[in-house]
Amino acid sequence: MVQVDVFWSYAIGAGFGAAAARAAAAEPVRPLLSDRRFTTTVLFLACLFAPSGLWLLWQFTGWETMHAAVAPADLPAWLVAAFAVTNVTQGIVGYAVARHLWRRGHRYLSWLQMPLGYFAMFFVLAYGWDGTGYRRFFAPTTAAWQAGSVDPLAFLTSPVALTLYGMGAVLLPTMLWLQAGWWAGDGLGRVRAVGLLLAVAVSLGLGTAAVVSIALHTLGVLPGLLACAVLVPGAFHPRGLAGLLARPFPLGTRRAPAPTAA
């Protein structure tokens, strides 16, 4: 979804960035543009992630825009171009931020960029801008949205969902296998790293966003925001759920060798 992908792209890039920084900890320090893992990340974003968003925007314009538009003709050309570009640039930003934090010794904060991005992504999906995010998500067509027909079970077999399954079968294994490979080591195996990455995205990203959305719906906007001001920092605090999930990851300090002379 257009409103979601800016956060998703950041989360993807940050996930790659923190994992790459860990993998490169024992290697000579290189500039960002000489980082081969950065190149891999940009290729993933540009060749897989961004095209999937454009496919959905063209084929399912209503759903991809959370029913803010109906058909491709409703979208200005600059918006489509910006959507394509930001699906790559936001991932680059996420990678650069996570990499910078790791190299400065802020390893937990570097790791945290990924779940923070997923939290923002899932919050937009669950709540949106007006509390109807999840209803917009489960309405596969604008006609269904306008009719108030929201059926999660029916959505699972809709053309939108079938397309998402196909894209997910390519995007997710590729992303997880690459990131897990860069995290592997120091007692953490690649397969286990895949499971941990999924657990972080689902529990800390989706789970926290769902609780926040429920709080806003049940308590009202102002009381809900006050509750979330306590809930969200608590969840992402090193002594909270995030800290618990971060423990299996190799976030310990490893000294990198000095740059080699030219």
Q: Which two structure tokens, joined as six digits, stand for 91?
A: 């991932």
Tally of CA atoms within 13 A in the half-sphere of 67 that contains its CB: 22
Q: How much is the pLDDT for 262?
A: 40
**What CA–CA distance (Å, rounded) separates 69 from 1?**
12
Q: What residue type is 146 in one-letter code?
A: Q
Q: How much is the pLDDT for 9?
A: 98
**What CA–CA distance (Å, rounded) separates 8 from 120?**
8
What are the tens digits of pLDDT across the range 130-156? 999 999 999 999 999 989 878 899 999
Q: DSSP labels for the chain?
A: -HHHHHHHHHHHHHHHHHHHHHHTTTSPP--GGG-HHHHHHHHHIIIIIHHHHHHHHHHSHHHHTTTS-SSGGGS-HHHHHHHHHHHHHHHHHHHHHHHHHHHTT-HHHHHHHHHHHHHHHHHHHHTTTTS-HHHHHT--SHHHHHTT---HHHHTTSHHHHHHHHHHHHHHHHHHHHHHHHH-BTTB-HHHHHHHHHHIIIIIIIIHHHHHHHHHHHH-HHHHHHHHHHHHHHHHSTTSHHHHHHTTS--S--PPPPPPP-
Q: How much is the pLDDT for 261?
A: 46
The terminus-to-terminus CA distance of the chain in angstroms comes to 46
Indicate if the alpha-carbon torsion angle 179, 99, 258, 254 is positive or negative.
negative
Do 50 and 87 meet the contact criterion of CB atoms below 8 Å apart?
yes
CB neighbours of residue 105 within 10 Å: 9
What are the tens digits of pLDDT across the range 238-252? 999 999 999 999 997
Q: How much is the pLDDT for 186?
A: 81
CA distances from 214 to 46, 66, 76, 123, 241 (A): 35, 20, 34, 11, 18
Q: Which residues of the chain have pLDDT under 50?
A: 255-258, 260-262
Q: How much is the pLDDT for 52?
A: 97
Q: How much is the pLDDT for 252?
A: 78
Closest C-alpha to 94, from 73, 112, 82: 112
Q: How much is the pLDDT for 256?
A: 46
Do 1 and 65 meet the contact criterion of CB atoms below 8 Å apart?
yes
Q: Which two structure tokens, joined as six digits, stand for 100?
A: 């910078």
